[in-house]
Amino acid sequence: MSRCPWAKTDLYVQYHDTEWGVPVHDDRLLFEFLILEGAQAGLSWETILKKRENYREAFDQFEPALVAKYGQKKRKSLLADPGIVRNRLKIEAAIQNAQMFLAVQDEFGTFADYIWGFVGNEQKQNAWKSIKEVPAKTSESDAMSKDLKGRGFKFVGSTICYAFMQAVGMMNDHLVECFRHAQLSRTAREAK
């Protein structure tokens, strides 16, 4: 069975085979990925995957309404938590992003309705043959980044946005030889 070449460790294989590139429309899970992608900046995604359960516990299962209300006591406990990335800017960004996330929900009904608009509300089917072809950012991620920043979100540069788009299935960036590419493109066709 052929997989994308980055799926080398057991943790990556599990993530690759079950989550990466699967379209997500659940707001709580979209918020989780938004925060985790920002936390990953400058680190490997595997580092974040290893800490994911700790993040879920530390950030109240990524319930944006709870995270948005974190005060000084909670912020200090997060900075002292070895189970997450203890970076003050990333922790502050997660709290601010929760507040902005709620504002987007108020405006659009759901965050999913807002975020999926950047790809015309359907998964973009790419056909990369080599990992070298896969871009770090695109015009869609540039537009998403600009809009999110304009709304007050942090740690949402275009490269982070593109990684988010890949993770939540807005892009099918599995290589064409990977068994998941065909599965996800078939699912997208059936959804139309």
Q: Which residues are known catalytic residues?
A: 15, 37, 45
Cβ–Cβ under 8 Å, residues 162 and 141: yes
Helix H or strand E encompassing 140 = helix 139-150
Amino acid in position 52: R
- Residue indicated by tokens 């759901």: 110
Q: Is 85 buried (19+), middle (13-18) or exposed (0-12) by CB count in 10 A? A: buried
Q: How far is CA 18 from CA 3, 43, 49, 81, 169, in A?
A: 12, 22, 13, 28, 11
Cβ–Cβ under 8 Å, residues 57 and 83: yes
- b/e per residue 22-38 (b: at least 16 CB within 10 A): ebbeebeebbbbbbbbb
Q: What is the DSSP letter of 120?
A: T
Helix H or strand E encompassing 142 = helix 139-150
Cβ–Cβ under 8 Å, residues 79 and 86: yes
